Amino acid sequence: IFQKWVNREISNFDYLIQLNTMAGRTYNDLAQYPVFPWILRDYTSEELDLNNPAVFRDLSKPIGCSVVFIKISFFRYENFEDPLGMIDKFHYGTHYSNAAGVMHYLIRVEPFTTLHIQLQSGRFDCADRQFHSIPATWQALMDNPNDVKELIPEFFYFPEFLENQNGFNLGQLQISKEVVNDVVLPKWAHSPEDFIYKHRKALESEYVSAHLHEWIDLIFGYKQRGPAAVEALNVFY
């Protein structure tokens, strides 16, 4: 499979799906759901220029390791000490993939809506914590060192999860009073289908093809644990 990918006989998407499967990740387990990378960092331009390297995220670093937070992650690791000696040092107290994160992204689609409501003791979580905007979600990652969620495969093939087709009442944002309905898209996407088309195109772009192995090292490869993980600021609680 690796050789097929290198020879470009299979797409980046297919390669990531197969790596997830080999790693024991599956759509049948929310706690081990397939994980995909954030690949872009431009969610504000009117047009998406895939020939410009500046529109892409740095795939060699964990999502929680933006320039601003490198010092925070380093400090947290260096100064953490469990008095009982049970918990190892870590850079991040949360994880890049978990059940709550999957439900967060897929809240508009059953059965994830019902699972979310069960998790929140019988009601929707407050609107400000819902997945309501792709640009705002990316900005939150950049502003909050404790949010390190990567993406799920649906961001590359399933436009329906971005629409509130079932008309769920997801509340309204506290400050702007904006009603949470369909997911707000980047300016360069004219519809959920257009977002998926361009996002998938970005995944298969030359830039991502040349750098995807760096992210794979972090999630599936030798930078998961041990000295290489410490050096890459990639140690999770």
Distance from C-alpha of 211 to C-alpha of 207, rounded to nearest angstrom:
6
pLDDT per position as a tens digit, 146-182: 788 999 999 999 999 999 999 999 999 998 999 999 9
The three-class DSSP label of residue 202 is helix
Place of tokens 């760096």: 214
Residue scoring higher pLDDT (199 or 65): 199
Check pLDDT > 60 for residue 130: yes
The three-class DSSP label of residue 92 is strand
User: Hey, what are 42's tokens?
Assistant: 């431009």
Place of tokens 């759509």: 27
Q: Which of 36-45, 66-75, 91-100, 179-188 is predicted with the least confidence, judged by mean pLDDT?
A: 66-75
Distance from C-alpha of 193 to C-alpha of 157, rounded to nearest angstrom:
9
pLDDT per position as a tens digit, 97-128: 899 999 999 999 999 999 999 988 999 999 99
Domain boundaries, the chain: 1-38+63-232
The three-class DSSP label of residue 184 is strand
Find all residues with CB under 8 Å of 19, minimum gap 6, and list them: 216, 220
pTM recorded for the entire structure = 0.90
Which residue stretches of 66-186 are H helix? Answer: 70-79, 99-105, 112-119, 134-143
Distance from C-alpha of 195 to C-alpha of 200, rounded to nearest angstrom:
8
- Contact call for residues 177 and 140 (beta carbons, < 8 A): no
User: Hey, what are 1's tokens?
Assistant: 């499979």
Residue scoring higher pLDDT (237 or 218): 218
Span 24-29, average pLDDT: 97
Distance from C-alpha of 58 to C-alpha of 62, rounded to nearest angstrom:
9
- Contact call for residues 41 and 55 (beta carbons, < 8 A): yes
Domain covering 1-38+63-232 assigned CATH 1.10.1540.10 in the classification: yes
Confidence of residue 70 (pLDDT cuts 50, 70, 90): low
